Amino acid sequence: MNQNNGMQKRMLIMTLVVFVFFIAYEFLVLKPQQEAKAALVKQEQEQKQNSAPDVDTTQMVESDVNGNPINMSKSVDALSSKAIADKQIVSVIKTDKNIIEIDTLGRVAQVTLLEEKYKDENGNQIKLFEANQLRPLEVRFADKNINTEAFNAPVIASSSNIDATTSKQVLTLTQTLSDTVLTKTLTFYPDGHYDLSVSATNDKQFFITNGFRPNVLADMYALHGLITKLNDNTLTTIEDGDLSKNENITGVKFVSNFDRYYATVIYNFEKSLSITLMPDLSSNPQAFIHAGSSINFSGFMGPKNFKDLLALNKELTDVIEYGWFTFIAKPMFVLLQYIQSYVGNWGWTIVILTILIKLVLYPLSYKGMVSMNKLKELAPKMKEIQLKYKDDKQKQSMHMMELYKKHGANPMGGCLPLILQIPVFFAIYRVLINAIELKGAEWILWVQDLAEMDPYFVLPILMGATMYIQQKITPNTMQDEMQRKIFQFLPVIFTFFFLWFPAGLTLYWFINNLFTIGQQYYINKLFDKKRAEKN
């Protein structure tokens, strides 16, 4: 087989294999790993409950003169669900967006989202946190003795119920210990975010955490873990399970622990933060902020909604993680938002965005399709050369190149445009996977939530069918039977994986296939016309 033609085929197969591997890896490898990890964590928690039902004590390393953490023990309630006992709650704050519950140690015990679209599979309003996780705004003192005392001394709240639905309200939490008084002053706003000022008397050093990430949707499709933004605007993401040891970071603008759609964020854009990242028992990242004896910052606990984050601060939109292709994905999402502001429907917005992407990439697609048609026309002559010079590869290659040059064909033209479109696909994949704006967004008839799978599998089947049609009308110069079989099964494989994909992503792929079919049909007709004119 000709070397260039063989390379062209190998690159085309490689491109498709990348797609299949990308989908299969997430579905067959990542999901089982996450399920196994969740089972292990649950088993560890049950063991702790049996051995020490009241407290679980771990140690943090001692701090140095620079203020790194020292010898701080923690206490975590041995509960396994999101239910928080009433006796643990000292204050309940209601904003326009959420209900925030503060526990006896001055921590955020639970956040319940109030907007109608944020409901779980049972129809209940979504709660962000597990009862037994590291809780936001937990304080740990550098002095071990004070720290132990603090975990056994309840705070006094200035009010047990606060209504911040229409205007900002202030809550003061006071914890009186033998050698210091810890005071937290929280200002809650109707949009659900807060400002916090914390201080300890007698210059007692302490640390404060934004807690473990929300545990609502940590699935195989999107990243979940921790992200920080530094003064130089660099972003660092550490996924759950990837932190093996303590790490100190300075010059931090914000730190966010997040799952697919929700985040717990602490930020200060006027005075940067210093933090220490610590792994938990499952190597998940936990952030502890160096407070000294006092600190001020702002925070947010809730959905990673682009407009809400933008309203707080433009830089907070970086909380939304798009992975490797952020440089393409972020402007793409801004365009998606812009289109939706006029269209008003996320489903049709995805359709329009898909068409725009196809138009922008049309020159690449056109060149690739033309090249494939030319190669198909030249296939008989290529086969003649291969048979004539089957024992002399050098002459075979030389005559092939002459043939390509004479007819203006490019053996790489068919797959290079496809390869160049891979970053675009991955970017739109990340955008649609991470966009909480799609949650609860209807399209037509049976599609009531674009963030969930199509309940009747209509879109995946249509996607598979259009992929099959596209394959049938696309010129194919492959002689190898195994390669042909691989391509024939691709629509079936893709349909299978897309059965469980969010409807919004499947809609994108389906519309993309439709327009690719239209483009290919048009180019095929042009070649048929030229062929007829020659005859």
Give the pLDDT of residue 484.
66
**Is the distance from CB of 153 to CB of 177 less than 8 angstroms?**
yes
Q: Is residue 96 over pLDDT 70? A: yes
Q: Is residue 153 over pLDDT 60? A: yes
Q: Nearest-CA neighbor of 97 among 286, 315, 312, 260?
A: 312
Question: Per-residue pLDDT averaged across 389-398, rounded?
Answer: 77
Q: Which two tokens stand for residue 391?
A: 């024992």
Report helix, strand or coil for 392. coil
Q: Which two tokens stand for residue 531?
A: 């062929």
Q: Is residue 36 over pLDDT 60? A: no
CA distance 375 to 475: 8
Give the pLDDT of residue 411.
64
Top pLDDT among 481 and 285 is at: 285
Give the pLDDT of residue 265.
97
Q: Is residue 216 over pLDDT 80? A: yes
Give the pLDDT of residue 296.
97
CA distance 424 to 111: 36
Confidence of residue 535 (pLDDT cuts 50, 70, 90): low
Q: Which two tokens stand for residue 436?
A: 């909480």
Percent of the chain with pLDDT over 70: 78
Q: Is residue 55 over pLDDT 60? A: no
187: left (phi over 0), alpha (psi -120 to 50) or beta: beta
Lowest mean pLDDT among 292-301, 322-331, 513-522, 523-532: 523-532
Give the pLDDT of residue 420.
65
Q: Which two tokens stand for residue 462?
A: 């249509």
Where do the domains of the chain lie?
3-23+330-534, 87-321
Q: Which two tokens stand for residue 43?
A: 């088993």
CA distance 183 to 176: 9
Name every residue whose Cβ is closer than 8 Å to that of residue 386 and which is 6 or more positions away in sequence: 1, 2, 396
Q: Which two tokens stand for residue 125?
A: 């309003």
Question: Per-residue pLDDT averaged across 162-168, rounded?
Answer: 96
Neighbours of 189 (CB within 10 A): 18
Give the pLDDT of residue 351.
93
Q: Is residue 357 over pLDDT 90? A: no
Give the pLDDT of residue 412.
61
Give the pLDDT of residue 2.
44
pLDDT in tens, 173-187: 999 999 999 999 999
Name every residue whose Cβ is closer than 8 Å to that of residue 142 and which is 6 or more positions away in sequence: 63, 69, 70, 71, 72, 204, 205, 206, 207
**Amino acid identity at 187:** T
Question: Per-residue pLDDT averaged across 198-204, rounded?
Answer: 96
pLDDT in tens, 469-499: 988 887 665 555 666 677 777 888 888 888 8
Q: Is residue 147 over pLDDT 90? A: yes
- How many CA atoms lie within 13 Å of 221's alpha carbon, on the beta-carbon side? 19
Confidence of residue 366 (pLDDT cuts 50, 70, 90): confident
Angle, nearest 10°, between helix axes 362-388 and 503-534? 60
Lowest mean pLDDT among 227-241, 263-277, 327-341, 521-535: 521-535
Average pLDDT score over the chain? 80
Q: Is residue 225 over pLDDT 60? A: yes
Q: Nearest-CA neighbor of 21 among 494, 466, 503, 510?
A: 494
Name every residue whose Cβ is closer than 8 Å to that of residue 490 and which is 6 or more positions away in sequence: 16, 20, 467, 471
User: In the 8-state DSSP scheme, what is residue 453?
Assistant: B
Q: Is residue 13 over pLDDT 90? A: no
Q: How far is residue 321 CA from its own chain's centroid?
A: 5
- Max mean pLDDT among 81-90, 250-259, 365-374 falls in 250-259
Question: Per-residue pLDDT averaged across 229-245, rounded?
Answer: 92
CB burial of 196-231 (b: ≥16 within 10 Å; e: otherwise) equals bebbbeeebbbbbbbbbbbbbbbebbbbbbbbbbbe
CATH entry, 87-321, from 3.30.70.260, 3.40.30.10, 2.40.50.140, 2.70.98.90: 2.70.98.90
Q: Is residue 41 over pLDDT 60? A: no
Indicate the pairing of strand 161-164 with strand 206-209.
Answer: unpaired
Question: Per-residue pLDDT averaged across 442-467, rounded?
Answer: 89
Give the pLDDT of residue 427.
82
Top pLDDT among 76 and 353 is at: 353
Top pLDDT among 169 and 344 is at: 169
Tell me the H-state helices in 445-502: 458-473, 481-498
How far CA 365 is from CA of 429, 471, 517, in Å, comes to 19, 15, 11
Top pLDDT among 262 and 414 is at: 262
Lowest mean pLDDT among 13-22, 176-185, 430-439, 465-474: 13-22
Neighbours of 261 (CB within 10 A): 26
Question: Per-residue pLDDT averaged across 462-469, rounded?
Answer: 92
Give the pLDDT of residue 476.
63
3-state per-residue secondary structure call for 187-223: EECCCCCEEEEEEEHHHCCEEEECCCCCCCCCCCCCC
Question: Per-residue pLDDT averaged across 456-462, rounded?
Answer: 93
Give the pLDDT of residue 270.
94
- Max mean pLDDT among 38-42, 96-100, 131-135 falls in 96-100
User: In the 8-state DSSP scheme, what is residue 440?
Assistant: T
CA distance 433 to 336: 13
Q: Which two tokens stand for residue 497?
A: 């994986």
Sign of CA dihedral 23, 29, 35, 41: negative
| Greatest distance between any 2 Cα atoms in the chain | 100
